[in-house]
Amino acid sequence: MIKIVKRDQPSKTIFFFTPVLAIFLTLVAGGLIFYILGFKPFEALKFFFIVPIADKYGLSELLLKATPLCLIAIGLSFCFKSNNWNIGAEGQLTFGAIVSGGVALLFYDQEGFYILPLVILSGAIGGMIYASIPAILKTYFNTNEILVSLMLVYVSKLILDYLVVGPWSNPEGFNFPETRQFSDSARLPLLFEGLRIHTGIFLALAAVVISWFVFYKTYLGFQMKVSGFSLKTAKYAGYKGKKMIILVFLISGACAGLAGVGEITGPIGQLHREVSPDYGFTAIIVAFLGRLHPVGIIFASLVVAITYLGAETAQIFMQIPKYTGQVFQGMILFFLLASDYLLYFKFKFIDSKK
């Protein structure tokens, strides 16, 4: 007989094993969905997960997509670790892109070494301003941060839409919903000739290192961890709860804003209607899949980035709808949450004859 028993302590091995299990289960379920849709499962999975990254160009695209995911997820891990549900990173990304794009447009006909740092900084500040809204409303008005941050996503996309259609649209652009091209000084330099991967990746790597340091080597990181486990304990210990809520929101807003900067000053070089294919939402999955651990998030962002590329490739070669990417992302999170059951419970074989 098999009995389910609660573990005395969550298992450490399983903590890092379940993400792998979740990815495996997602592949199995994905194959099944492809089969139901009338495709050969293995071939479809191959087009989805292997073909897109089989060459140099594909790898560059993978890193290009993984960069914003990693950056945002790192920021979100600050929030999630301390029990703050910021799910509006998409809005913070968009607002960061708007502010940095605005600064870049100010200098559209100028060159200078100072432009790019200004643009990057303004993107981070834009994201922080936008993230501070749910944070302040949560701390001083007791308002649910989930709903506020989410509503602000819709608002940010409408602000962007208004700007690129109206006041910021390119005067020589034949009414296309896009702004002027930024000057070269406002662009993040490309890493290799002919590939789209750009220096924004260093921003993501810097975020990884800094967050690792903060989480594991500072008092702040410790405070966040304690508040994540139990807000009551944190209160007893005398931590300044309100300050921390605002701080983690600002950090994650800055990261999302920087991701926005990367999107517009990288390969595109202008503001247009859709600066992000829902990176802000997908990064939530990345953060969980990476176990809110900086190194885990690097791996998770690469895995989830494949779902973006795979969806595109599968659509071109097999006419599989591109939304399969989102389905895969949802499934990864489902399976990850489900396999967490193994963290807290174990199966025990009991000899029923006794």
Partner 1 sequence: MIIDVNFVGLIIASIMASAVPLILASCGELITERSGVLNLGVEGMMIIGAISGFALMTVTGSLIIAVFGAMLAGVLISTIFAFLTQTLITNHVATGLALTIFGIGISAMIGKNFVGIPGKEFPVLFEGLKDTIPLLSPILFGHSIVFYFAFALPFITSYFLKKTKIGLIVRAVGDSPESASNQGINVRFVRYACILYGGAMCGLAGAYLSMIYTPQWIENMTGGRGWIALALVVFSTWNPIKILIGAMIFGGLTIIQFHMQAIGVRIPVQFLTALPYIVTIIVLVVISRDSRKIRLSTPSSLGKSFHKDN
What number of chain residues touch partner 1 (CB under 8 A)? 44
Q: Which of 10, 112, 189, 330 contacts partner 1 by CB under 8 A?
A: 330
Q: 20 vs 210, which CB is nearer to partner 1?
A: 20
Q: Are 297 and 285 in contact (CB under 8 A)?
A: no
Binding status of residue 352 toward partner 1 by CB under 8 A: no
Binding status of residue 344 toward partner 1 by CB under 8 A: yes
Longest dimension (CA), the chain: 85
Binding status of residue 158 toward partner 1 by CB under 8 A: yes
Q: 219 vs 349, which CB is nearer to partner 1?
A: 349
Q: Which of 50, 217, 323, 348 contacts partner 1 by CB under 8 A?
A: 323
Window of 187-195, 219-227, 269-277, 337-345 that interacts with partner 1 by CB under 8 A = 337-345
Q: Which of residues 80-109 bind partner 1 (CB under 8 A)?
A: 85, 87
Phi first, then psi, for residue 168 (nearest 5°) are: -100, 5
Structure tokens at 235: 């209160």
Binding status of residue 275 toward partner 1 by CB under 8 A: no
Q: Which of 11, 132, 143, 185 contacts partner 1 by CB under 8 A?
A: 143
Q: Are 210 and 77 in contact (CB under 8 A)?
A: no
Q: What is the DSSP string of 284-321?
A: HHHHHHTTT-HHHHHHHHHHHHHHHHHHHHHHHHH---
Q: Which residues of 218-246 are buried (b: 16+ CB within 10 A; e: fewer)?
A: eebbebbebbbeeeeebeeeebeeeebbb
Q: Which residues of 93-122 are buried (b: 16+ CB within 10 A; e: fewer)?
A: bbbbbbbbbbbbbebbeeeeeebbebbbbb
Binding status of residue 151 toward partner 1 by CB under 8 A: yes
For residue 185, give the DSSP letter.
Answer: G
Cα-based angle 335, 337, 341 (whole degrees, multiple of 5): 105
Per-residue binding string, partner 1, 208-247, x by CB under 8 A, is ----------------------------------------
Window of 113-121, 174-182, 201-209, 326-334 that interacts with partner 1 by CB under 8 A = 326-334
Structure tokens at 167: 């006041």
Binding status of residue 159 toward partner 1 by CB under 8 A: yes
Binding status of residue 14 toward partner 1 by CB under 8 A: no
Nearest to 272 by CA among 116, 161, 124, 196: 161
Binding status of residue 288 toward partner 1 by CB under 8 A: yes
Nearest to 95 by CA among 140, 154, 171: 154
Question: In the complex, what is the shortest distance from the CB of residue 272 to partner 1, in angstroms, rounded to a whole number?
Answer: 15
Binding status of residue 6 toward partner 1 by CB under 8 A: yes
Question: In the complex, what is the shortest distance from the CB of residue 324 to partner 1, in angstroms, rounded to a whole number?
Answer: 6
Handedness of CA 256, 258, 262, 268 (dihedral sign): positive
Return residues touching partner 1 (CB under 8 A): 6, 85, 87, 137, 141-144, 146-148, 150-152, 154-155, 158-159, 161-162, 165-166, 281-282, 284-285, 288, 321, 323-331, 333-334, 337-338, 340-341, 344
